[in-house]
Amino acid sequence: MRESSLRICTSSNLSIVEFHKGMKINDLDLRRWKEYDEILTDSLWIFDRRERGLTRSGEYHGNFIPQIPRQAILRYTRKDEWVIDPFAGSGTTLIEAKILGRNSVGIELKKENVKKIEELLSKTPGEGRHFVVHGDSMDPETFNLPYKCFQLAILHPPYWKAIRFSEDPRDMSNLPDLQTFLEGFSKVLDNTLRVLDNGRFLVLVIGDIYDDGEVIPLGFLTMDIVIKRGLKLKGIVVKNIEENRGKRNKISLWRYRALKNGIFIFKHEYVIFFKK
Ligand SMILES: C[S@@+](CC[C@H](N)C(=O)[O-])C[C@H]1O[C@@H](n2cnc3c(N)ncnc32)[C@H](O)[C@@H]1O
């Protein structure tokens, strides 16, 4: 039996009896289900704008909107539980976790981001313990973390070479070909699954890309890898946001390119939900 399936997490609010009877994986009270308007249950998420305020600057190119980790945290964790994000970026997940009174660990390869996240966290109102680790999430050694037992994992990897995040060869946006990128993703996934509790959720946020006029369906390819690890696919959400930093002010150019090359302008990304 794998080590993770033997482990009962000390961070859980549940007693061992409750754990075996059926885990409660959020703080929602279903007797009050009509009151939870902010929780999205449709598979199409259309956001007209990024949620701002507090320490959510939105400046990091390639970040996701805070609404995404927020939805996942509210739906799949209880207060005081632990969230891991192996591609922390600008720390959006950690900031939402703090606001919502969860604990979190983020891993990020870019050293300068680590300091920035810590600064943002120090200014963010909220609760919990939050750690930012500098390292390569493909490397199992990086997962010798200050905390080792998580109830939610949020993975927002580079969409391969769509945005180059650094010059570091370990940066997944620098991996030389699609096969190597998918192998890199698999390594991060396996490292993450070792610290994710059974019965809990993993959320993958990813978009497709064009390469040489051809769609590379990163969403489907990575989703397939997770399913092959034995996780249950619980939801495929298509998310749209109008205010896309990369494409803002360039709409006409993109439309011209689309018409000229017989392609379509990406407006969506996937938020894919799995249960371990
Ligand atoms: C799509 S961004 C994540 C953005 C994040 N969700 C946010 O809202 O700011 C992907 C991040 O993964 C980081 N990264 C790339 N390769 C990595 C690796 N091997 N280990 C850890 N982080 C990596 C990049 O530096 C980048 O910040």
Q: What's the confidence (pLDDT) of residue 246?
A: 57
Does the pLDDT of residue 9 top 60, yes or no? no
- The 10s digit of each residue's pLDDT in 207-222 is 999 999 899 999 999 9
- Options 3.30.70.20, 3.40.50.150, 3.40.228.10, 3.40.1360.10; CATH for 44-275 is 3.40.50.150
By C-alpha distance, which of 226, 225, 218 is closest to 153? 226
Indicate the domain borders of the chain: 44-275
Asked whether 272 lines ligand 1 (CB < 6 A), one says: no
43 CA → ligand 1 middle, Å: 25
Could you tell me the distance, in angstroms and rounded to a whole number, from the CA of residue 205 to the centre of ligand 1?
12
Residue 19: the pLDDT is: 53
Rg (CA), the chain: 19
108 lines ligand 1 (CB under 6 A): yes
Q: Which residue minimizes the CA distance to atom 12 of ligand 1?
A: 87
The pLDDT score that the predictor gives to residue 34 is 94
Query: Which ligand 1 atom is nearest residue 113's CA?
Result: 27
pLDDT of residue 59: 81
Q: Is the pLDDT of residue 249 over 50?
A: yes
Mean pLDDT of 179-204: 98
Query: Of 17-31, 81-95, 178-192, 215-229, which range is least confident?
Result: 17-31
Which residue's CA lies nearest to atom 7 of ligand 1?
Answer: 63
pLDDT of residue 2: 37
Amino acid identity, position 275: K
**Cα distance between residue 256 and residue 262, in whole Å:** 10
Q: How confident is the model at residue 12 (pLDDT cuts 50, 70, 90)?
A: very low
pLDDT of 20 higher than 50: no
Least confident of 4-13, 86-95, 230-239: 4-13
Q: 93 CA distance to ligand 1 centroid (A)?
A: 12
Pocket test for ligand 1, best of 65, 109, 113, 205 (most atoms within 8 A of CB): 109
Q: According to DSSP H, which parts of 33-175 are helical?
A: 67-76, 92-99, 111-123
- Residue 60 Cα to ligand 1 middle (Å): 11
Angle of helix 92-99 relative to helix 67-76, nearest 10 degrees, comes to 50
* 172-176 contacts, C-beta under 8 A, 24 or more apart: 172/87, 172/138
Mean residue pLDDT across the chain: 90
Q: Check pLDDT > 60 for residue 239.
A: yes
Q: Tokens 């390819």 identify what position?
A: 221
Give the pLDDT confidence of 140-174 residue by residue, as tens digits.
Answer: 999 999 888 999 999 999 999 999 999 999 999 99
Evaluate if residue 183 carries a pLDDT over 90.
yes
Question: What is the tens place of the pLDDT at every residue in 32-90?
Answer: 999 999 999 999 999 887 777 666 666 888 999 999 999 999 999 999 999 999 999 99
Q: What pLDDT was estimated at residue 5?
A: 37
To test ligand 1's pocket by mutation, which of 165, 170, 192, 271 has the most ligand atoms within 8 angstroms of CB? 165
pLDDT at 43: 97
Q: Which residue has the tokens 């320490």?
A: 55
